[in-house]
Chains A and B, each alone.
Chain A
Amino acid sequence: MSKLNETDIQGFVLRGYNMPFARYLFLHFDDALLAAALVHRLMREITTGQRWDTGKPQSTVNIAFTHRGLAALNLPDATLLSFPVEFQQGMKKRAAILGDTGRNAPDQWDELWREDQVHAWLGVNASTPEALNARCADMVSIMRETKGAILLAAQDAASLVFNGVPTTKEHFGYTDGFGNPDYLGVERSSQPGQGKLMPDGKWAPLATGELLLGYADEAGELPVAPVPHILASNGTFMVYRKLHQNLATFRTYLEEHAPLYSGGKEKLASKFIGRWRDGTPIELSPDHPDESITQDPSRSTNFTYSADPEGTRCPVGAHVRRVNPRDAFGFDGKLINRRRITRRGLPYGPSAAEDEPASDADDRGVIFIALNANISRQFEFVQQQWINYGNDARLGNEKDMLLGNHATGKGRFVVQGDATPTNPPFICGNLPNFVELRGGDYFFLPSITALGMIGMGLVDPR
């Protein structure tokens, strides 16, 4: 396949910008015509997937809309009704499917998400806080000049800084952001382990239609997309979730259980997620972190589970094994290729080093952003079947240790082991909720062409 039309695709879809600062602005439209004029004006601000031949910019801007937002922009009913059901409903109505109940239920969310006010997401990424503030100020003045939108709220996110050094860590101390898939036609420096597994053991890019609308997917079909085709093509769907992290609970749980586990605290922490906290996959290095692996792109994601069916190295229920099971279900991984998502987003809230105090009440966590062509088949399936349920991993009703909604407080995580003294079998019981949902929604992230159609009121479903 030739490369994609990069100037028509929002840059946020094709690449992680690798910028340490972000602010996500949430917009509300009161007047359809003024809102459309704003979208039209914003078109020249939007960062596309075009390569940065003249060097990386200081900041980027991208935009996406909820279904309510597209309705507020007066898109034709025939178009609005042609969107997939889960997108039309929005995340809140999907709570029961997603397991967003109890402390994760919509009535516990931040006020922003409780009232169905959010019509658009404007994502600004930047290299420095100054560039971020300047670009956001530009955005606010464009909104003011055009009177096209009300700014409801802003969510800051940023790489965590430890000892003065920006990192790719999240608040629990794990290095994040390894496993994004490769797609046909998307130009990026790929590495083994990032696409789909082939019968010969090599890795190949996934079909473009697993990420973008308008291209063939892994089933050889065009993804289900709204009409007209030109509105959908080169666009995708974005899942936004504000995931609060109970850092004190996590630390206490780890401290209380580590003395009972003869592999030690760091090894126990690595078993929860499937990587040592520096990012070393425990499938490759079960006994110690290994910088030579994390620094080597040909190794850091290059592993499978078929030689470890019992989970002796990487527990069957470890987070990375659950959400990207690779070949763990057999069939050369064919059962998972249509469940892959692309991760964007950053942590939010103040960092707290291991020796610094932390409370669950502190406002910190991860802004989880996932991109996929089919929310129901990809994100929702992973969330429902692999995070809050365990049958595919042969774990019955057991949930993901870190992300699962252990509402009963009776959740369990089994660390499979062997007969060696530093790798014994170990069972973690009475799991608390380490992570809680504070809000979010489903967004449509259109192509540049589609933004033009929306901005000029030219969406014609025929």
Chain B
Amino acid sequence: MSNINGKVYAMNVVTPMKPWKTWLLRTLFFALWNIKPLQKDLINLSFIEFARWVIIPRSRFPFLAHGQARENLQYDYLLFFSNFNGTWNQYIDAFSSVLSRGLNLIWRWSEKFPGSVPVTPFKEYIAQVQFDTDYYYTAYPYATANDLKAAHIVQASLDQLAQQANTSDPKQFADAYLHFVLQVQSHLGNTGEAPLVS
């Protein structure tokens, strides 16, 4: 019933494309998928848990039963789905300031896309084409992507230390403990409530 669950936000964006433009986007996605460095900026945005664009051709909409009337759609559609930490505004601001070129490449084929810079028309566009989330489950609402990554690092290091501790003498343990602390020292943030959305 809400886009927000603790520290996580689920965003759905659906935009129409003229069908003759769809193959251009398909070519681009093929390139993006195969040229990994192009994905680097998206991956480096540490507050993004997940982001994916999918093309839904007008002929491929679900047809559930014969009781459903056949639709005659004029447009193909682009679905963008993302889970991220932080506020909607923060997310779009970051998208606009560091990914503007990539976003323009992907969304420029969609109808009436204003460009990702300046940010206000871009935000107005997203607000128009965003669909609120009906059902959304997150296993760790009090954790962000960074918290989860940090927890994995701490757990793996601790397991290693525990294993070593079985066989080490005090001096060896002291060394192993220092090594452990150095491995985990910048991953000790705790989970908890998200700041209030303003």
Give complex CA distance A98, B44 in Å: 28
The CA-CA distance from A412 to B96 in the complex, in Å, is 34
Q: How many residues of A contact B (CB 8 A)?
A: 44
Check if A414 sits within 8 Å of B120, measured CB to CB: no
What are 5 A-B contacts defined by CB distance under 8 Å?
A99-B195, A220-B118, A412-B190, A414-B186, A417-B182
Closest 8 A/B residue pairs (Cβ)? A396-B189, A397-B192, A395-B189, A219-B119, A221-B118, A394-B146, A331-B98, A220-B118
Partner of B118 from the list A96, A219, A385, A391 (CB cut-off 8 Å) is A219
Main secondary structure on chain A at its contact with chain B?
Answer: loop
Whole-angstrom distance between the Cβ of B87 and the nearest chain A Cβ: 9
B189 CB to closest chain A CB (Å) equals 3
Q: Looking at the complex, which of A7-15, A104-112, A136-144, A334-342 is the stretch in contact with chain B?
A: A334-342
Q: A219-B97, A335-B94 are in contact. Are A416 and B185 (CB under 8 A)?
A: yes
Closest to A383 in B: B195
Q: Does B178 contact A (CB under 8 A)?
A: yes
B46 surroundings in chain A (CB, below 8 A): 329, 392, 394
A239, chain B: closest CB distance, angstroms: 15
Chain B neighbourhood of A335, CB < 8 A: 94, 97-98
Chain B residues closer than 8 Å to A416, beta-carbon distance: 185-186
Report how far A157 CA is from B144 CA in the complex, Å. 41
Within residues 274 to 327 of chain A, which ones have a CB less than 8 A from any CB in chain B? 309-311, 316
Task: Report the Cα distance A86→B143, complex, angstroms.
Answer: 28
B187 touches A394 (CB 8 A): yes
Cα distance A215–B33 in the bound complex, in angstroms = 40
Q: Is A384 touching B195 in the complex (CB atoms < 8 A)?
A: yes
Residues of B within 8 A of A (CB): 7, 41, 44, 46-47, 85-86, 89-90, 93-94, 96-98, 117-120, 143-144, 146-147, 150, 178, 181-182, 185-193, 195-196, 198
State in angstroms the CA–CA spacing of A338 and B98 once bound together: 12
Give the chain B neighbours of A65 by CB distance below 8 A.
Answer: none
A389 at the interface (CB under 8 A from B): yes
Which residue in B41, B44, B89, B185 is a CB contact (below 8 Å) of A414? B185
What 1/0 flags go to A391-404 for Cβ under 8 Å of B? 11011111000000
Instruction: Please encode chain A, from 365 to 394, with 1 for each CB lying within 8 Å of some chain B CB and 0 for all others.
Output: 000000000001100110011001111101
B residues near A427, Cβ cutoff 8 Å: 188
Task: With A219-B97, A335-B98, A425-B185 as known contacts, state yes or no: A391 contacts B196, CB within 8 Å.
Answer: no
Whether A396 contacts B146 in the complex (CB less than 8 A), given A334-B97, A385-B195, comes out as yes
Complex: chain B residue closest to A218, CB-CB:
B97
A369 nearest CB across to chain B (Å) = 22
Chain B residue with Cβ nearest A388: B195
Other than A376-B198, A395-B188, A417-B185, give 11 A-B pairs with Cβ distance below 8 A: A96-B196, A335-B94, A335-B97, A377-B93, A384-B195, A388-B195, A389-B195, A391-B7, A396-B189, A397-B192, A418-B182
